[in-house]
Amino acid sequence: MKKSLNIIVPIFNEEDNLSRLGEELSSFLDISLAKTTVLLVNDGSTDKSQAEIRSICDKDDRFSYLSFEENRGLSAALKAGFDHSETDLIGYIDSDLQTAPEDFNLLLAEIENYDLVTGVRSDRKDSFVKNMSSTIANGIRRSFTHDGMDDTGCPLKIIKTDYAKRIPMFKGLHRFLPAMILLQDGKIKQVPVRHFPRIAGEAKYHLWNRLFGPLADCFAYLWMKRKYINYKIADSSAKIKQ
């Protein structure tokens, strides 16, 4: 049976990118290896993003949206997407299109044997400061989580939905998705994907929230890891509501 995939796209003040985003995602839906839909999550944008989002959804019924009352951050947008997905798989891509929707097929080709497949950006097209701060942040995070991931910040991921829904989301946890799958005894893999320069809009992450913020989040992750509850059912007579 062909798997179903719902792609979550968090959006905050990206009005200049959204027309192209709709076109590229729509083209991908026609060639996806899975039956695919898109959920656009407007994270309290203060520009004209919501009007663009409505226009995209009006043109293609494979698109839908959620709109927050106020900006709540990337982790909140992902949680909302997880909560509202009923597909077999959940995907994630940023609205800046620095990764290509077509590369979801590279991840889909691997997801059968894994519970999370994430991209690792090849030949990154970012500034020296951005690349260096990301490299340092990834090294710090790996020392805390031991997840073996080289590029956990890559905004191109696919997760099996039952695993995604069991992630206890908190602010900043989007950086720890592979580690959270490992806590569930799941299997993870990284796959090289293409990376492109941002051509519209402004980056939302800078030195503080790319380097120092994640360091604080690492301690929150360690606390949560010690408290995390994980179990597997060996047998049951309980009936599951349909």
At 133-192, the pLDDT tens digits run: 566 566 666 666 667 676 777 889 999 999 999 998 877 787 889 988 998 999 999 999
- Would the pLDDT of 127 be above 80? no
Q: Quick one: pLDDT at residue 31?
A: 97
Rounded mean pLDDT of 47-74?
96
Q: Quick one: pLDDT at residue 124?
A: 62
- Would the pLDDT of 13 be above 90? yes
Q: Quick one: pLDDT at residue 108?
A: 98
Q: Is 3 within 8 Å of 73 (Cβ atoms)?
A: no
Q: Is 147 within 8 Å of 179 (Cβ atoms)?
A: yes
Least confident of 24-28, 79-83, 203-207: 203-207
Instruction: Report the share of the chain in percent with pLDDT over 90.
Output: 58
**Helix pair angle (49-59, 15-29), 10° resolution:** 20
- 135: buried, middle or exposed (CB in 10 Å: 19+, 13-18, 0-12)? middle
Q: Quick one: pLDDT at residue 242?
A: 47
Q: Quick one: pLDDT at residue 204?
A: 56
Q: Which residue has the tokens 């990284």?
A: 190
Q: Which residue has the tokens 């701060």?
A: 133
Average pLDDT, the chain: 86
Q: Is 163 within 8 Å of 116 (Cβ atoms)?
A: yes
SS3 of 217, please?
helix
**CA-based nearest residue to 87, from 22, 43, 157, 39:** 39
Q: Quick one: pLDDT at residue 223?
A: 77
Q: CA–CA separation, 174 vs 178, rounded Å?
A: 9
Q: CA–CA separation, 222 vs 210, rounded Å?
A: 19
Instruction: Report the share of the chain in percent with pLDDT over 70.
Output: 81
Q: Is 181 within 8 Å of 110 (Cβ atoms)?
A: no
Q: CA–CA separation, 182 vs 166, rounded Å?
A: 12
Residue 192, token pair as written in the block? 């090289």
CATH architecture, range 4-227? Alpha-Beta Complex (3.90)
pLDDT tier at 214 (50, 70, 90 boundaries)?
A: low
Radius of gyration of the chain (CA): 18
**Edge to edge, what strands does the sheet with 4-11 contain?**
63-67, 35-42, 4-11, 89-93, 156-160, 116-121, 188-193
Q: For residue 242, how many C-alpha atoms fall within 13 Å in the half-sphere facing its CB?
A: 0
- 143: buried, middle or exposed (CB in 10 Å: 19+, 13-18, 0-12)? exposed
Task: Give the pLDDT confidence of 86-103 residue by residue, as tens digits.
Answer: 999 999 999 999 999 999
